[in-house]
């Protein structure tokens, strides 16, 4: 368990009417009260109670069909100000946001506002993104939502007091680089969802925030759901060792939403086709796009779909970022939804673990099956030791395509497995941690390669490079933080043998 941010008594809260009622005036649903745990959930509640001693707060919701089995919050949404968490408290959702963005995309597609199979550059313009590999016509909205855009994982999270953060369009043009062929493999990426956000805004001429509020949150009765930090008291992100953290996350479509347990139970019921009054929002075929069968060729739109055997399907969407974790588990055959929200960072995700244990109390054996599957996920992307092949030995020369200029770059492979780099025809250094994942070299280097917002400092760089007979290409990624925020950004790398690179 992580240590508590601050010693304080455990609080089981209903609603802070004095703090929240004004902000939610006019909402279509009454402020929710705590619903005591169903008898079958008493043991799970004890697990949550013990976990709540080690974090700022936990909020839980469990619904089966029309019956609300449990809805309760423990601890403080804001430790510094002593504000208790409640079932109506909006928490930062981190990557659970992606399922909402995908849902919005399917809603807009069903209304003819966007086309899933149209190239996104037809909407954004040819210069909106830098496409270095593959066929740009395969960079469709469908492949973007399924994370098959070939864009490396990344983000920008600016401190709240930074007033000159760039616009999304500028960020995409500079750092959403297509370094692997679109339409191919799944590549988890926040920046990919920034492309979807830009497409929605350009196609509808409305902001992403407005689209989420009017096309998704309001129709579903998600009264406290927002994109970005809400204007009313919300859960504050707390570090495991104490203190708070937070900022304006870009792209918002990847991890910028807030919502409460109450909101997410309604969201889950909508996805199960059980939320009354929302039948016209998406028909069955459109909902099926969001919940394809495991292994479907079209990929997954923000939700995971797992076959646990014996007809037991598990639909999930979750998120984890410094200071918050979230988990929504759906068991369609049981009409069951479980939500867990935590506002203190933990690894592995505390929200995930608690959601499995709560679900197991109602679906016997669920947790063991789910954890077995999750153990298999951990083998995704497994690497093997790097052993140089004869065709790789020698010098490979080319460039790193940085924001403002191409940086001359050379890799040299030695027979003993050593890899050396030179850059800008001046700097040099040894690369470390070389591993292979299929045909890709995973290796690290510390060098002052220029990245946006880095100030020209020395950075720890991670390379993912495709090794081909005649060339090496891929991405170099830097993960860094400073007074302006935290950043994970990538550049394209292209090298050829014997100095034939550009």
Could you report the per-residue pLDDT of 10-54, keeping only the tens digit for each? Answer: 333 333 333 333 333 333 334 456 788 788 999 999 999 999 999
Instruction: Assess contact for 46 and 205: CB atoms under 8 A.
Output: no
pLDDT at residue 501 tops 70: no
Instruction: Give CA–CA dist 113/196, Å, rounded.
Output: 13
Range in 21-35, 40-54, 438-452, 482-496 the model is least confident about: 21-35
**Angle CA(493)–CA(496)–CA(500) in degrees, nearest 5?**
120
**Which has the closest alpha carbon to 87: 172, 30, 144?**
30
Hey, where are the domains in the chain? 12-93+260-377, 384-497
Q: How many residues belong to the chain?
A: 502
**Which has the closest alpha carbon to 34: 82, 10, 3, 70?**
70
- pTM of the complete model: 0.90
Instruction: Give CA–CA dist 73/273, Å, rounded.
Output: 27
Instruction: Assess contact for 340 and 326: CB atoms under 8 A.
Output: yes
β-bridge mates for residue 479, sequence order = 488
Could you report the per-residue pLDDT of 71-127, keeping only the tens digit for each? Answer: 999 999 999 999 999 999 999 999 999 999 999 999 999 999 999 999 999 999 999
Name the 3-class secondary structure at 226.
strand
- The arithmetic mean of pLDDT across residues 156-163, rounded, is 92
Indicate the fold that domain 384-497 takes in CATH: Lipocalin (2.40.128)
Instruction: Give CA–CA dist 157/289, Å, rounded.
Output: 30
Instruction: Give CA–CA dist 25/224, Å, rounded.
Output: 11
Q: What pLDDT, on a 0 to 100 scale, did the predictor assign at position 5?
A: 34
Instruction: Give CA–CA dist 263/227, Å, rounded.
Output: 13
């Amino acid at each position: 368990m992580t240590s508590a941010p601050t010693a304080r008594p455990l609080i089981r809260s209903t609603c802070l009417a004095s703090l929240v009622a004004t902000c939610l005036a006019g909402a279509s649903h009454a402020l929710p009260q705590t619903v005591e745990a169903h008898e079958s959930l008493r043991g799970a509640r004890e697990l949550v109670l013990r976990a709540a001693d080690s974090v700022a707060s936990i909020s839980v919701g469990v619904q089966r069909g029309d019956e609300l089995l449990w809805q309760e919050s423990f601890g403080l949404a804001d430790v510094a100000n002593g504000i208790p968490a409640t079932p109506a408290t909006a928490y930062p959702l981190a990557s659970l946001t992606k399922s909402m963005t995908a849902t919005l995309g399917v809603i807009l597609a069903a209304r003819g506002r966007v086309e899933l199979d149209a190239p996104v550059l037809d909407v954004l313009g040819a210069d909106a993104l830098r496409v270095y590999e593959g066929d740009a016509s395969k960079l469709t909205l469908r492949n973007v939502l399924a994370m098959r855009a070939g864009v490396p994982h990344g983000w920008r999270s600016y401190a709240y007091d930074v007033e000159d953060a760039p616009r999304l369009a500028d960020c995409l043009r500079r750092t959403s680089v297509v370094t692997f062929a679109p339409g191919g493999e799944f590549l988890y990426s926040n920046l990919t969802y920034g492309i979807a956000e830009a497409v929605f805004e350009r196609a509808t001429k409305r902001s992403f925030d407005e689209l989420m509020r009017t096309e998704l949150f309001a129709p579903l009765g998600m009264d406290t759901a927002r994109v970005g930090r809400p204007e009313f008291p919300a859960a504050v992100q707390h570090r495991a060792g104490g203190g708070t953290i937070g900022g304006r996350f870009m792209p918002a479509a990847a991890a910028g939403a807030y919502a409460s347990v109450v909101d997410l139970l309604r969201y889950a019921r909508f996805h199960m086709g059980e939320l009354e009054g929302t039948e016209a929002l998406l028909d069955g075929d459109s909902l099926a796009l969001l919940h394809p069968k495991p292994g479907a060729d079209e990929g997954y739109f923000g939700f995971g779909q797992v076959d646990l055997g014996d007809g037991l399907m598990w639909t999930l969407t979750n998120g984890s970022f410094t200071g918050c974790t979230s988990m929504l588990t759906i068991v369609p055959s049981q009409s069951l939804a479980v939500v867990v929200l935590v506002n203190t960072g933990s690894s592995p995700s505390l929200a995930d673990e608690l959601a499995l244990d709560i679900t197991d109390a109602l679906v016997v054996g669920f947790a063991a099956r789910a954890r077995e599957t999750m153990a298999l996920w951990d083998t995704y992307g497994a690497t093997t030791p790097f052993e140089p092949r004869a065709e790789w030995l020698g010098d490979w020369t080319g460039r790193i395509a940085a924001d403002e200029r191409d940086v001359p770059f050379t890799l040299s492979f030695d027979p003993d497995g050593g890899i050396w780099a030179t850059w800008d025809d001046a700097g040099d250094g040894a690369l470390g941690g070389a591993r292979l994942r299929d045909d890709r070299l995973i290796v690290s280097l510390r060098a002052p390669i220029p990245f946006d917002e880095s100030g020209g400092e020395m950075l720890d760089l991670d390379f993912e490079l495709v090794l081909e007979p005649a060339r090496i290409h891929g991405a170099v990624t830097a993960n860094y933080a400073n007074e302006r925020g935290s950043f994970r950004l990538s550049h394209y790398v292209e090298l050829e043998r014997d100095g034939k690179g550009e």
